Homo-oligomer: A and B are copies of this chain.
Amino acid sequence: MVNYSVDDIKEFENIIENSKNIAIISHMSPDGDNLGSLLAMYLALKKEGKKVIGLELDEIPKYLNFLPKIEELSNDENLNIDTLITVDCANTKLLGELGRKVFDNSKNIINIDHHKTNENYGDLNIVDSKISSTCELVTNMFIDLNISFDSEISTALFTGICTDTGRFLYNSTTQDTFKIASLLIENGADKNFIMERLFQSHDLLARKLSTQILSKSEFLYNNKVVISSITNDILDKYNLKITDLNDVINYYRDTNEVEISCFIKEKPEGGFKVSFRSKNHIDVSQIAESFGGGGHFSAAACQIDGDLNEVKEKLIKRLDNIEW
Partner-B contacts on A (CB < 8 A) = 167-171, 173-176, 178-179, 181-183, 185-186, 191-192, 195-196, 199-204, 207-208, 211-212, 214-215, 223, 251-258, 279-280
Contacts and interface: CB of A to CB of B under 8 A. Distances in A.
Count of this chain's copies in the oligomeric assembly? 2
Contacts of A201: 254-256
B167 A192 contact: no
- Most-contacted residue by chain B among A196, A211, A252 (CB, 10 A): A211
Nearest to A63: B256
A167 B186 CA distance: 19
A178 B169 contact: no
Nearest to A214: B211
B203 A256 contact: yes
B202 A256 contact: yes
Contact of A253 (B167, B200, B203, B258): B200
A279 B168 CA distance: 20
Contacts of A257: 204
Contact of A280 (B196, B215, B254): B196
Contact of A168 (B167, B170, B255, B256): B167
A275 to B, nearest CB: 17
Nearest to A201: B256
Contacts of A191: 173
A172 to B, nearest CB: 10
Given A176-B182, A199-B169, A207-B251, A192 B256 contact: no
B181 A178 contact: yes
A279 B175 CA distance: 28
Nearest to A253: B200
A214 B196 CA distance: 21
B195 A169 contact: yes
21 contacts: A167-B168, A169-B195, A169-B199, A170-B195, A171-B192, A171-B195, A173-B195, A174-B185, A175-B182, A175-B183, A175-B185, A178-B185, A200-B279, A201-B255, A204-B256, A204-B257, A204-B258, A207-B254, A207-B255, A211-B214, A212-B215
A228 to B, nearest CB: 11
A178 B183 CA distance: 9
Contacts of A212: 215
